[in-house]
Structure formats: C-alpha cells, structure tokens
Structure 1
Amino acid sequence: MRKYATGYGVRVHADDLVTFGETQPILSVLDVAGFEVKNLFLIGRNAHCGQIIVESESRAMNIQAALEPAYKVTVKQRANGDWAADYSRRDPDGSAPNRFITNVVLKDGTVALKDGRVVRREGGGTP
C-alpha cells in the first residue's frame, strides 16, 4: 500500500500500513475485532467515517465483517483494481446518518450548498 504514501499528512507505519486523517478510532475497533492491521491504506475523514483500501476483495469483506454492525460498511472495487471498504459509524438506533455537511442556507435565505455542491449565484459568482 506504499503506492498511496504520497502527499502531505500521509503516514507510513510498520507492516505496510499507510494512514491519512483521523484514524485512531477505527484502528482501535479493528484491533479489538482481531483484524490483522497490515498492508492497507486507511483514510479517516473524521472520527465517524472513512475508507480503507486493500488489494483484494476477500480483505475488504473481512473488514466489513470486523466492523459491522457497529459501522455501515460498503465494499466496492476501485478503478485501479484495488478494493475499498467505506465505513460510517452507526448511531445507537442502528441508523447511519450522513456525517458530511450537504446543505447550507445562510441567515438571509441564500442557499450556498445543496446536495454537497456549491450553488452558483446569478451572474456566475459563488456565495
């Protein structure tokens, strides 16, 4: 996974573990679940969600098994052939809300962000 070890903030650890962002919460969960934390790229978007990239589907499925039901995990193949397990921590009621800001309305009623995209003002400017 060292091929992902580029850029500011990316850290390389023992056993070919590459991390970026807030990773301690998910690393602890994987460790407690008995998952072998090596040869993977862990991207922690925040304390609640992120993505783990591995080289095989079976490893991605093992990540899913280790994290569920506490996390909602979606496994998919990336364009380069690697596999990704997107994870999002579930609330106590079992739901997995979106942890990203997707809509922003200013005090004056102007919509600045809708469905995660910047809304352009008339005249081509941005809010």
Structure 2
Amino acid sequence: MSKWSCRWAKTHANGLVTAGSTEPVLTVLEVRGFEIRDMFLIGINPDCGSIVVEEEARAWEIKAALEPAYRVTVRQGFDGDWSVKFDRRELDGSVPDWFVREITLRDGTVVMRDGRWVGEAGA
C-alpha cells in the first residue's frame, strides 16, 4: 500500500495513487516512456493538476516528460516529498486559466473570454 492511499483516492499497482481526472496526463507520461510507479497523481480537471513523488530526481523526470505540452513547476513540500504542478499549454504556448473561463461585468464588459484576459481592444 502506498503512503498516499486514502479513501477518496484510488490505489493502483506499483504504488500509483490517483484522484480526479488523470487520463490525459497519464497518457502523455506513458507515451513518453515515463515509468508509472510510486506517485500520487491529482487531476484537478483534464488540463491541470499535481503529481507528488518522494524523490527529487523523479520530479525532474516528470517535468522532462511533460514539457513542452504542459507548463510544469517542481517544488519540495514541507514533508520532504516533491510536488510537480502541471498546466496544459495551448498550441500557441499560452496557458489559460482552467478554472474561470468567462468573466462579464454587470455593465456587459467582457474581461475574460475562453480563459484569457481581454483588454480594451478585445472587448
């Protein structure tokens, strides 16, 4: 059993624990030859999430496997584990906000469309 096992996450073979939407990033990792083992993958939605691993070297291997399709940041947590945060990039290389996609003010001014901030020229 993995140290990340909990009742709201699914524990798989090889120490893999997953929660949320994980298929897109697992597919990218597998296609790029990354060994899927001993990690906790949290998919916030199909476009972003985090992966927690115990070893720094594995965190950097994940980063190498996901870039340039994803923007990836690697950090060490308070407990000594390593966190790899990922956000899927658009074809133009930008990373939109995957949570808030549209914002329109009460006066009808659109300030965000399709996850991107809109300036005065685009309103």
Is TM-score (shorter-chain normalized) higher than 0.5? yes
SS, match of residue 45 in structure 2: coil
Summarize deviations over 1:68-107 as a string: whole Å, max 9, x none: 0010000000110000110000001001122122996675
Unaligned ranges ≥5, structure 1: 110-127
Give the structure 2 partner of residue 24 of structure 1: 23
C-alpha separation in 1, matches of 2:101 and 2:24: 24
Q: Which amino acid aligns with 1:64?
A: K
Q: Which amino acid aligns with 2:64?
A: A
Q: Normalising by structure 1, what TM-score? A: 0.78
Give the structure 2 partner of residue 4 of structure 1: 4
Summarize deviations over 1:25-51 as a string: whole Å, max 9, x none: 111000000000000000000000000
List structure 1 segments (4+ residues) > 4 angstroms apart after TM superposition: 102-109
Summarize deviations over 1:100-119 as a string: whole Å, max 9, x none: 2299667589xxxxxxxxxx
Give the structure 1 partner of residue 44 of structure 2: 45
Number of equivalenced pairs: 108
Please, what is the CA RMSD of the aligned residues? 2.0
Give the percent of matched residue pairs that are identical in Structure 1 and Structure 2.
51
Give the structure 2 partner of residue 95 of structure 1: 94
SS, match of residue 46 in structure 2: coil
C-alpha separation in 1, matches of 2:75 and 2:65: 16
